[in-house]
Amino acid sequence: MYNIPRVGVGVVISKNGKVLLGKRKSEHGLGQWGFPGGHLEFGETPEECARRETFEETGLIVTNIRPLTYTNDFFTQTNRHYVTLIMAAEYTAGNPRVCEPDKCERWEWFLWDQLPQPLFLPIQSLIERGFTL
């Protein structure tokens, strides 16, 4: 579908040693657990994208958004190539809710060493590179 790499943004939100993950419902990553996030829009900074996507998907307002790392992933099942900018954000208050039911089944908090399976490819890439919270 895409013959050029796309830029995605994934947001690592942690609370009490746990990270927020959503179970994906869209074709891209169907049934896999991933961070809040989405496509970087034209003219948008990664920080703006992280704030926007987190609110659109979870209803949470996050602060202190900052870059962590990136992944470079080729999704063979959907023939898509993404560079995903991994951002950190601070949880402030509230409970995540499913704001886009066509894209996400549910949101849950997980300990980093007890993540659910299957994981969205950018998270798998982070783990393979030794990333931890």
In this structure, are residues 15 and 90 in contact, taking their beta carbons and an 8 Å threshold? no
Q: What is the pLDDT of residue 28?
A: 85
Per-position pLDDT tens, the chain of length 133:
458 999 999 999 999 999 999 999 988 899 999 999 999 999 999 999 999 999 999 999 999 999 999 999 999 988 999 999 999 999 988 899 999 999 999 999 999 999 999 999 999 999 999 999 8
Distance CA 57, CA 47 (A): 15
The CATH number of 6-128 is 3.90.79.10
> By three-state DSSP, how is residue 94 classified?
coil
**Burial of residue 119, with CB atoms counted within 10 A of its CB: 0-12 exposed, 13-18 middle, 19 or more buried:** middle
Total-model pTM: 0.94
